[in-house]
Amino acid sequence: MWKCTGCGETVDDDFDVCWNCQRDKNGLAPTSQNGEPQDSGLRELPQADGTIEVDACGRRLSCVVCGNTTFHERNSLLNTRLATFFKFDWANAQAVNYICTRCGYVFWFLPE
**88 DSSP assignment:** -
> pLDDT tens, 4-40?
877 777 888 888 887 767 778 877 766 555 555 554 5
The pLDDT of residue 71: 97
From CA 54, how far away is CA 98, in angstroms rounded? 8
> pLDDT tens, 45-63?
999 999 999 998 888 999 9
The pLDDT of residue 63: 96
User: How does DSSP assign 64-109, residue by residue?
Assistant: TTT----EEEEEEE---HHHHHTT-GGGS-EEEEEEETTT--EEEE
The pLDDT of residue 34: 53
Specify which residues 92 forms β-bridges with.
none
